[in-house]
Amino acid sequence: MTATGSYTGKFFPLSSELFDFIKTLSNEKFMVDIHAIPAFFHNDPISSRLRSE
Amino acid sequence: MKQLFEKYKTLLTDEEGLKAIEAEMSRQKEDAYETFHTQKTVISEMAAAIRKTRNVLLLGMGASHFVNQIFAFQIRKMGIEAHAIPASEFLYDPIPVDRKVVILTSQSGESVETIKCLPSLTGNTVYSVTLTPDSTITKQTRSIICAGGGEKAYAGTRSVTLTLATFAFAAEQLGQIKFEKIERAIEFEQTDLAAMEKAVWTLFSKHSIIATGRSLFAPLSQLFALGCEELGTKPVLCNETGMFRHGPMEILDSDTALVVFRQEGELGELCTSFESAQKQSGCALIVLDSSGLDPLKNAITIPCPTGLDINTVLGMMTTFQSLMVAYACGKNPRTGLPRYGSKVTVSE
């Protein structure tokens, strides 16, 4: 499985392994300290899925 | 590594800086061989001078200083008295230079403090390593001119690799390394992209980053920290591991990423102490691992060529450069486009 998120109209591919790994980096809130990713995670389905999980 | 850049550059608002860095990195392998072929006479001459005097002072600034340190530690292994100090330190707090071979390192050949050291060195045999023909340093010293011309991209990538390769060639002339091993180091390409991406996302996610290493891997960790700061515009602490354990370790917590540069042998074994530090603090542990030993527990391990010398460091160049550039893409939407500085520092 490959999870693919959109960011500013571009695609940012995440392998399922990396996707699972990123989840382990989060605590109660899923927000990594990155200038663009908050928007990325706010706006696309991956973010919603990560938050719901 | 190209695919890593392709992916993370989507985080940028301006790709020009990254494109310039990519262009430099894509040439470094060929330029390293070209440097050897065109400069071997001068490299051999410099090695002979080092062998004769057994007393070397290396001066440079920024990344050049850290590469100088790597070479100084390398030749100390054969009993040569070698010191690398920042040109700015030598300029204002000089040490005696009698009977020393002096090596000035500056990719541009115009770094202000390094140039200002020249009048104090008139009685010495002075070599230099630079990328820029017709520079001040080239005109006033016996110069090794690395191939491909001056580096245009911000932050040292190709310049660092070529300077390091030049010193590896000198170590080969001094009988420390076989040429075939240098070739293997230049050819090494990181294939564990999964580990690289885990490291990148870990660096993205943590508030604080600390880089550390021992012996030749200490200045290597400094190069990583410097590059992350220049490109990522966020502070990265860097301590030689012994110094780090004498106090600064207290800052480790679950919001810290500790990046360890680990070599083969006794010093690689010592790194196992970071396992308990990680367990106690909850910090993330990223290891660029040249030890050939079992990976540290609970660490993201990026495998690198096994060894502990300057050649091993050369083999790690593209791996650590790619990691720092990908990290920067997540921290600075204008990676590679300086805000306050410039490529060549010509004022103090």
Q: Which residues are CB-contacts of B32 (< 8 A; sequence separation ≥ 6)? A: B147, B161, B162, B165, B186
B88-133 pLDDT, tens digit each: 999 999 999 999 999 999 999 999 999 999 999 999 999 999 999 9
Residues of A in contact with B197 (CB under 8 A): 15, 18
Q: How confident is the model at residue A33 (pLDDT cuts 50, 70, 90)?
A: very low
B269-288 pLDDT, tens digit each: 999 999 999 999 999 999 99
Task: Indicate the pTM of the whole model.
Answer: 0.92
Q: Which of B12, B192, B285 is nearest to A34 (CA)?
A: B12
Q: What's the confidence (pLDDT) of residue A26?
A: 59
Contact B205 A7 (CB under 8 A): no
Looking at the predicted structure, is the pLDDT value of residue A23 above 80? no
Mutation pick from A14, A25, A44 vs chain B, by most beta carbons of B within 10 Å, is A25
Phi, psi values for residue B54, rounded to 5°:
55, 30
Looking at the predicted structure, is the pLDDT value of residue A35 above 50? no
The answer to whether A32 faces chain B, any CB pair under 8 Å, is yes
Interface residues from chain B to A (CB-CB < 8 Å): 7, 10-11, 194, 197-198, 201-202, 204-207, 330-333
Contact A12 B7 (CB under 8 A): yes
Mutation pick from A34, A40, A41 vs chain B, by most beta carbons of B within 10 Å, is A34
Residues of A in contact with B202 (CB under 8 A): 25
Q: How confident is the model at residue A12 (pLDDT cuts 50, 70, 90)?
A: low
Q: What's the confidence (pLDDT) of residue B11?
A: 80
| Pick from A11-20, B25-34, B207-216: least confident | A11-20
Average pLDDT, chain A: 51
CA distance B194 to chain A (A): 7
Average pLDDT, chain B: 95
List Cα–Cα distances, B344 to B9, B48, B109, B152, B263, in angstroms: 25, 31, 9, 9, 32
**Can you tell me the mean pLDDT for B3-9?**
84
Q: What's the confidence (pLDDT) of residue B3?
A: 80
